[in-house]
Structure 1
Amino acid sequence: MVTTSTTPASSTKSTPAPSGTRIPRRRGAGLWRRNVLPTTFLWVLVLLMAFPLLWFLLSSFKPGSELFSYPLSFLPRDWTLGGYVDAFDRVDFLRYLRNSTIVATVTTALTVFLCATTGYALAKYRNPWLSVLGLCILSMTMLPGEVILNPLFIVIRDLGLYNSLLGVIVPTVVTPTGVFMFRQFFLSVPDELLQAARIDGASEYRIFFGIMMPLARPIALTLAIISFQWRWNDYILPLIVLGDPKNYTLQIALRSLVGADNINWSVLLAASVLSMLPLVVLYLVFQRYITSSNINAGLKD
């Protein structure tokens, strides 16, 4: 009689291997792909974008003889503030800075207010002609600004705004982009919130300034920064509207430093750095409001 020994089923199963080096290696590879590679790639992009800016900033502290000397040096050999001193002595820098500040500030305030009111009307009022108006405003985003410069100049001249700061401010106070931003935000606000405010006796002005605008604060700040940057760096419109050097904005004044045969690079670099400071300060002040604000504040499910 032959007896066959049967092996228990449990013994045929392969026992799990003790924790070795393969699992940590896989986890390390996944960590490398998820964290190390993207972080390294982002730092490379930061360096590529920061290098020209740092070169431009450090070159403003170099004397004119060192800007084109060979071999080129990243850091100044002889640090000097001569370019900044000459920028205030040779150019009426404060006048041009004041003109640019007036144009950018007034235009930004009017742009935020008018775009907010227009976007609110397009989003919350039901009239057939408002839909047509919204479509016309949206279609303006497809039209390059350079196309309408000629008729725009004729209108500015006929209105008596030529060679004045109002000629630069008035044509740019309403932007289709700003209207579209506010309209899309106000569409996301529930109509029940407005109806509850009307039941409580709130007027339309109270609803707009007391409820809608506080909710739209991130949109308003974002548009304010973008609009201020647009108007501060605008070159084409002030160039064709402003003829008197006393009314020049800062960008037009910087262009006047470039001569036909000679360019004072030390003054031009220093003045360009000074023209960037207001935008840097504006971004540093308002960045935290944009990144930390909750656009759904005050709304309940």
Structure 2
Amino acid sequence: MRRDGGVGVTDRLVDGYDLVIFDLDGVVYLIDKPIAGAAEAVSRLRADGTSLAYATNNASRRAADVADLLNGMGVSAEPDEVLTSAGAAAARLAQTLPAGAPVLVVGAEALKAEVRDAGLTPVERLEDNPAAVVQGFGPDVGWKVLAEAALAVRAGAMWVATNTDRTLPSPRGALPGNGSLVSVLRTALDREPDLVVGKPAPALFETAASLSKSRRPLAVGDRLDTDIEGAVGAGMDSLLVLTGVSGPAEVLAAPASRRPTYVAADLAGLFAPAEAAVIPANGAEAGGWRLVDGRLDGTGAPVDALRLLAGYVWGGGRPTSGSDEAGKLLAEWGLTAG
């Protein structure tokens, strides 16, 4: 790191930061399988003395369980480095409700355990007079508990969602996430949750930075609508990796609230020079690609073309192709080849 805390042209991207906050699904693993290079990236950061945190919207596991899962994959983690939306939601409810208050839990056993550990009482039915409904992802969530939750909210219970991720990444493709389940209640009740705790809300990022006493954190994620938007809202630099949900077309169409500082194919981008991942505002060349007067040509890694195009498109430009390879990328990413 430079003395002024910034990143120089020849520095590794990570050298400008004192904390790396990782999302998990789509960044470190896919469901239960590690993403190639994730364990090595974490090991290199630890060897360099860089502080780490794991911030996940997944509410189906507790922090200790997440740490065990990561260690089982060869990715080193301590429970106190893990921040989950389940734990954050339970903590917020404990601040709002009296001790022992009944809370109807929609989600996995991990969410029930977090509610219980926060000094509240998990319940399952309207007849238990829940003061709140907390909704998180669980693979066994079905109609019955959603019906009880709808009745409880309609009767006046506070409705808290751990997150609103529409999908979850998996080796088979995107699967329905908690946001899809939240939309069931949203449709039935014709209203929004009273509180959404997880990303893109900045709470998980801010908590991670506070616990580490970080002055310059970097958030790493795979989703523009949660990880990157949350980092922007928290005032943090962010790295989008293309190993999970958001792809090139979504990057190019991103509004200002969802634009990452850097884009890389995977976590190896942390250790490359910062200029190899930054989005150039007025860039003309990147990794073998050239963009002159809006015309893209050359050859190289698609992620480098994406970085050039993102800066140009975000500035209002409309690129055209100057080669067959460029034309193919533009077509794949929903841009007119020209």
TM-score by length of 1: 0.23
Structure with higher strand content: 2
Q: Which has the higher contact order (CA 8 A, sep 6+)?
A: 1
Max radius of gyration: which structure? 1
Structure with higher helix content: 1
